[in-house]
């Protein structure tokens, strides 16, 4: 029975890693749609968010069922509880990619991002992809050292977020209130995407060690 339990636990972890890969792809596609005013791609990301939600709901049901059947204790119980929380973080990351895609759709056929901010948003998208790729590796490997490093990777996203705000707060901003609001929201979507990845990395650290990672 213990072997069967751990096989199910491994399957849950594999689904979490798959969910992370899907979320990474969603944000990459949403970023491309945003920067190029690609309506078809934006619509695809919006539609596929339902798949991410469905996988998350099924995964949570599987996790709760396993908890009820096996009544795990100690590290096994910790792994299942943490899995529920990680799946919620990943679902929220998918929602944030969905929001980016909706921003692209809302401003079509125009590009939602002003020309002088295209590079910054492109860099935020690249940072999100890098962070999410590492998140998948952390989930799969349960590497606590890598989990601790992810917060430093997220610092890059925070710097880009601040850079975006500097441009928006410049007295010479020429694009009006509506575009400023759009860019404020878009910047927030990327920043929160990184925050959820950091949350996942901390949960993996706790799952493995039973201790909370210290915040610097």
| 129 SS3 class | helix
Give the pLDDT of residue 23.
Answer: 98
Averaged pLDDT in 10-residue chunks for the chain of 216 residues: 85 97 98 98 98 97 94 91 97 98 96 96 98 98 96 96 94 93 97 98 96 75
Alpha helices, H only, 72-215: 74-107, 118-141, 144-169, 176-209
* Helix or strand holding residue 117 (H, E): none
Please give the full DSSP string across 186-200, using - where no structure is assigned: HHHHHHHHHHHHHHH
Q: What is residue 120's predicted lDDT score, i.e. its pLDDT?
A: 97
The pLDDT of residue 73? 86
Predicted local confidence at residue 71, as pLDDT: 86
What pLDDT is attached to residue 1? 58
Contact 128, 194 (CB under 8 A): yes
Instruction: Using the Cα atoms of residue 14, residue 20, residue 22 and residue 24 in order, give the sign of their dihedral.
Output: negative
∠ CA 70-8-24, rounded to 5°: 130
Gap between the Cα atoms of 145 and 138, Å rounded: 9
102 touches 114 (CB < 8 A): no
Write down all domains in the chain, each with its CATH number in brackets: 2-209 (1.20.58.220)
Q: DSSP string of 27-80?
A: HHHHHHHHHHT-HHHHHHHHHHHHHHHHHHHHHHHHHHHHHHHH---HHHHHHH
């Amino acid at each position: 029975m213990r072997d069967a339990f751990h096989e199910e636990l491994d399957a849950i972890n594999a689904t979490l890693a798959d969910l992370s890969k899907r979320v990474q792809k969603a944000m990459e596609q949403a970023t491309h749609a945003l920067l190029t005013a690609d309506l078809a791609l934006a619509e695809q990301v919006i539609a596929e968010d339902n798949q991410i939600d469905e996988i998350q709901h099924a995964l949570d049901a599987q996790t709760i069922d396993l908890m009820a059947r096996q009544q795990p204790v100690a590290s096994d119980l910790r792994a299942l509880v943490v899995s529920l929380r990680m799946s919620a973080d990943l679902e929220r990351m998918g929602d944030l990619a969905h929001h980016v895609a909706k921003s692209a759709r809302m401003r079509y056929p125009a590009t939602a991002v002003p020309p002088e901010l295209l590079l910054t948003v492109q860099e935020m998208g690249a940072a999100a992809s890098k962070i999410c790729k590492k998140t998948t590796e952390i989930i799969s490997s349960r590497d606590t050292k890598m989990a601790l490093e992810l917060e430093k990777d997220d610092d890059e996203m925070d710097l880009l977020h601040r850079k975006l705000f500097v441009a928006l707060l410049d007295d010479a901003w020429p694009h009006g209130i509506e575009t400023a609001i759009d860019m404020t929201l878009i910047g927030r979507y990327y920043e929160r995407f990184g925050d959820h990845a950091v949350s996942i990395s901390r949960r993996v650290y706790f799952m493995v060690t039973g201790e909370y990672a210290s915040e610097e």
